[in-house]
């Protein structure tokens, strides 16, 4: 998404229907150059992280947004990965 304040990568994360919280989940966004080599990584926050009781057991969704601080012409590919471990 291009806005006056910059360029943003917007997306949606679907939760596992058995989970009532995604508070331990992190999203890593890796930027790859045109040559295919990674050149930057960012952590994305997403909301909501606590799943309201009425939505537990249902495949809920959360939105994320990452500001892209790299020239778009330098980016060949963007990869977004979700995982359940802490960041160093």
pLDDT in tens, 21-42: 566 677 889 999 999 999 999 8
Q: What one-character-per-residue DSSP string does 5-22 give?
A: TEEEEEEEEEPPTT-SB-
**φ and ψ at 64, to 5 degrees?**
-130, 160
pLDDT in tens, 50-87: 655 555 555 566 778 888 988 889 999 999 988 776 55
What H or E segment, with its residue span, contains residue 64? Answer: strand 61-68
Global pTM reads 0.70
Range 36-41, long-range pairs (CB < 8 A, 24+ positions) = 36/76, 36/77, 39/70, 39/74, 40/70
Rounded Cα–Cα distance for residues 7 and 41 (Å): 16
């Amino acid at each position: 998404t291009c806005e006056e304040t910059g360029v943003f990568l917007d997306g949606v994360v679907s939760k596992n229907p058995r989970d009532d919280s995604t508070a331990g989940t992190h999203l890593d966004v890796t930027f790859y150059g045109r040559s295919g080599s990674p050149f930057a990584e960012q952590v994305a926050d997403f909301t909501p992280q606590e799943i309201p009781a009425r939505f537990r057991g249902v495949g809920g969704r959360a939105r994320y947004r990452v500001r892209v601080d790299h020239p778009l012409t330098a980016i060949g590919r963007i990869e977004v990965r979700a995982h359940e471990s802490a960041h160093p």
